[in-house]
Chains A and B, each alone.
Chain A
Amino acid sequence: MLELRAISKQFPGVKALDNVSLRFDAGEIHALVGENGAGKSTLIRVITGIEQPDEGEIFYDGERLRFNSYRESLEKGIDIVNQEIQVIPESTIAENIMLDKMITYGRTGIINWKAVNRVARQYLEMVGLSLPPTTVIKDLSAARKQLVQIAKALAANARVLFLDEPTSSLSEHEVKNLFRILRDLKAQKVAIIFVSHKFEEVFALCDKVSVLRDGRHVGTKQIAGLTTPELVKMMIGREVLQEHLGQLDVNRNNEVLRAEHVTRKDKVDDVSFSLYEGEILGLYGLVGAGRTDLARVLIGEDKLDRGAIYVRGKGAHIKSVADSLERYRIGYVTENRKEEGLLLQSPVQTNVTITIWRRIVHRLTRSINRAKEIGVTWGMIRALDIHTTGPNQKTESLSGGNQQKICIAKWLAADCDILIIDEPTVGVDIGAKEQIHQLIWDLAKKQHKAIILISSDMPEIIKLSHRILVFRDHRIVGEITDVDDAAKTYDHLSMAIAKHLN
């Protein structure tokens, strides 16, 4: 009933969708899988009219569609439940669910709250949320907000329902309940498109699976008869990832960073660990497990409520990122390079040397030494193999992988030898991903940097780490040592991580 024909979408530096043709049928749960940056989100945004495709056509019940806005797609019965939660926090549950279909007294325009709340309650019961419809949204947990979103989609009588990582913050019980609701909807001839990273959910729930890789449609298969290795191969384009890059030389005698009972209210709960020279310490966990919050405390961006941090053996009071850069030489590569990592409109050299302007300024004229600026930038372009026409190229026009290298380069330029690298390969294509892995590994192996690697990508964290700390609910729930020992297999390690998580 919903058919895409040869859809392409170009963003600066990356072809997000490349000639994608797909069909979604009524009464079918269709999984959409692919690595980060494979084009899943862009595809949804194109179908729902948030973005316009550059090429290609969309047909809905045989009729050609050109949505100009999300609103229009909603009116046609196409709805999304997002991974980022889209509700109005100051309103009640009922107001959110009934937002565009308020019940009024005749044509007076005055809202019949009794009726609105009664109808909203029906939908809440359907998703198994037993709360008064008059509860204000902002006080709800993330899981409950997600259920409200699902109730809202039910109320909209969606005929095509996109669920983008809908289980990311749900408990096991809530997931089961969601699956029951989705199967009911399937029986009512709704077309459901289920985007997920979790293979077990795809296999348990879906009828078909379509795989995207680097913006291209790799294939669509029936779930029945498909195995996990086959699906992985479709996703990453080869049998298995390289499991190890080799053994790191960790200097146990040089503890460069120690956290003792680090706590930040509601974000980080009593976290203690050590980091050594030449080590890559992986922090694994689901989104929101507290790893990024910990990083923000370590670099002084967020306040430390309780606990202590020691850098190179001395007690550290890191009050700001400027502090962590200038006094402690700790660099933080953020998980959102476009929003928090880069000045996209500025040239490459600005982003590489932003951390060292103060060090290359002339004493009298207060002028930044241009020759040094360009020299340092070229040095980094060569050392990290950044593909650019030169220091003057606008950063926005670089590919994701090269932008990520710039995010790392600015801390190397400033001689930081403790690096916290947060989700380094999100939105980076496969080839660049390998390069960034090699780069991070080389930094630890050859330059003896101490690296904290935050990643939700299990193959990535197993491939690079020396030790892995597993995070859940803002705490460390487990530690796996000697990950880089060649004797340990990927399956063994991933099982160990999974055990800590459950």
Chain B
Amino acid sequence: MKQPNLVHPQNSPSDTSDKSELLSGRTLGLIISTAILFAVLVTQSQSFLSGYTMFVISRQMAFYTLIALSQAFCLVVGGMNLSVGAIGSITTVILGLSLDNWGLSPWLAVPVGLAVGALAGALNGVLITRLKIDSFIVTLSTMFIYMGLRSGISGGAPYKVPESFDFVGQGSVVGTPYVFLIMIVLLGFVGYMYQKTVLGRRMLATGGNAAAARLSGINTDRTVVWAHILSGAFAALAAVLWASMLGSAAPETGDDWLIVSFAVAIIGGTALTGGSISALGILMGSAIFMLIKHGLIEVKANPYYANSFLGALVLLAIVVDRLREVYSEKQRLK
């Protein structure tokens, strides 16, 4: 056909490839925000830089990150998962049942718990794709189903777990909690998945434009189901680690996860409309979320208003993101 009349690939000015994906303007902004918040807390609080505070904060951050990832998997494909916390709680109950009532070893009980989470996620995904019902309605319904099951099965009382089970949730190496290390490894895995693997790319494509993805030969239904399985598995993992940290399997685990999952994912730059995610962004999102929460404690904010702060924070994140979008749109048109 025609002769090439284009710049050679090596000289191509816009071929910035990996760098741009790793450190987009948005992620850079998040890192700067985190640094500022961190600096404020260091200067304003004597105890902040202590080993103990760092230990607690990083461990809490790990949980936030896992919960946010659970939500982000579904946001990426253009859906959502309102049952994140409910999956966490049903996992906790089955885990407790396995360890306490059935006397299974942790080596067996943990896979059972993770499988329960993945299965609950799979059920969400199958219902959404088979019945062609919005993920909002499906996961709203299953949220109540799973929460009802956990109350019915547990009767509300916590389960005892063997002492050996505490090891991961409470332990640390050189002051860094195991939980934090696990989170970092998984975050790397998630980043790799979205940048490099077919499943990750297909999830992004499905969320970016489901019709175009399907008409390009992607089985979008299967992709959505996988996203929900991952979502369930990550929620279950967070629940298992939480039980390990508490040293007991408490059925109310997960009750406050929903808003956290959205807040951290959104602050971390996950598009609510689907098709975009940044692993590093989510890490920064959880750091910012954690630092703000810690800051509120430092200034002795009334804890009864905590939920209002959370809600306002989520709204703020969405507004900032929207303004950024409008601004870049204007820049592009100029």
Interface residues of A (CB under 8 A from B): 10, 12, 299, 301, 320-322, 324-326, 332, 334, 339-346, 350, 354-355, 357-358, 361, 365-368, 370, 374, 378, 381-385, 387-393, 397, 410, 414, 438-439, 442, 446
Contacts and interface: CB of A to CB of B under 8 A. Distances in A.
B225 to A, nearest CB: 15
B300 to A, nearest CB: 44
A332 B214 CA distance: 11
Given A342-B209, A382-B6, A322 B198 contact: no
A407 to B, nearest CB: 9
B226 to A, nearest CB: 13
B210 to A, nearest CB: 10
A400 B16 CA distance: 24
- Most chain B CB inside 10 Å of its own CB: which residue of A334, A339, A365, A366: A366
A366 B16 contact: no
Contact of A354 (B6, B7, B14, B216): B216
B209 A12 contact: no
A308 B218 CA distance: 24
B276 to A, nearest CB: 7
13 contacts: A320-B217, A321-B218, A332-B215, A334-B212, A340-B209, A340-B212, A343-B205, A346-B204, A354-B205, A357-B202, A370-B17, A390-B12, A392-B20
A354 B5 CA distance: 25
Contacts of A391: 9, 15
Contacts of A322: 217-219
Contacts of B219: 320, 322
Contacts of A358: 198
B1 interface: yes
Contact of A12 (B13, B213, B275, B332): B332
A419 to B, nearest CB: 14
Interface size class of B (residues with CB under 8 A): 35 or more
Given A345-B276, A368-B197, A392 B217 contact: no
Contacts of A301: 214-215
Contacts of A339: 209, 211-212
A389 B215 contact: no
Interface string B247-264: 000000000000000000
Contacts of B202: 357
Contact of B213 (A343, A366, A384, A392): A343
A385 B5 CA distance: 8
A385 B197 contact: no
B191 interface: no
A384 B13 CA distance: 21
Contacts of A393: 14
Contact of B2 (A299, A385, A446): A385
- Most chain A CB inside 10 Å of its own CB: which residue of B192, B213, B215: B215
B275 A321 contact: no
B214 A321 contact: yes
A350 B1 contact: no
B211 A340 contact: yes
B198 A382 contact: no
B333 interface: yes
A368 B217 contact: no
Given A332-B215, A368-B196, A343 B15 contact: no
B4 interface: yes
B160 interface: no
A344 B213 CA distance: 11
B294 interface: no
Interface of B: 1-2, 4-7, 9, 12-17, 20, 192, 196-198, 201-202, 204-205, 208-209, 211-219, 275-276, 332-333
Nearest to A365: B196
Given A346-B208, A366-B198, A384-B1, A389 B216 contact: no
Contacts of A388: 6
Contacts, number: 120
B130 to A, nearest CB: 15
A428 to B, nearest CB: 17
A357 B332 contact: no
A370 B205 CA distance: 17
B231 to A, nearest CB: 20
B209 A325 contact: no
Given A357-B202, A384-B1, A385-B5, A321 B216 contact: yes
A358 B222 CA distance: 15
A361 B9 contact: no
Closest 6 CB pairs of A and B: A325-B217, A382-B4, A390-B12, A385-B2, A367-B196, A343-B208
Given A324-B217, A339-B212, A385-B5, 8 more contacts: A301-B215, A334-B215, A341-B212, A355-B216, A374-B9, A390-B12, A391-B15, A414-B217
A229 to B, nearest CB: 32
Contacts of B215: 299, 301, 321, 332, 334, 340-341
Contacts of B20: 392
Contacts of A397: 332
Contacts of A446: 1
Contacts of B333: 10, 12
Contact of B9 (A344, A355, A383, A390): A390
A361 B17 contact: no
Contact of B7 (A299, A361, A370, A389): A389
Contacts of B17: 370, 392
Contacts of B209: 339-340, 342-344
Given A344-B209, A389-B12, A350 B201 contact: yes
A367 B197 CA distance: 5
Nearest to B276: A345
B220 to A, nearest CB: 10
A90 to B, nearest CB: 19
A385 to B, nearest CB: 4
Contact of A357 (B5, B13, B15, B198): B198
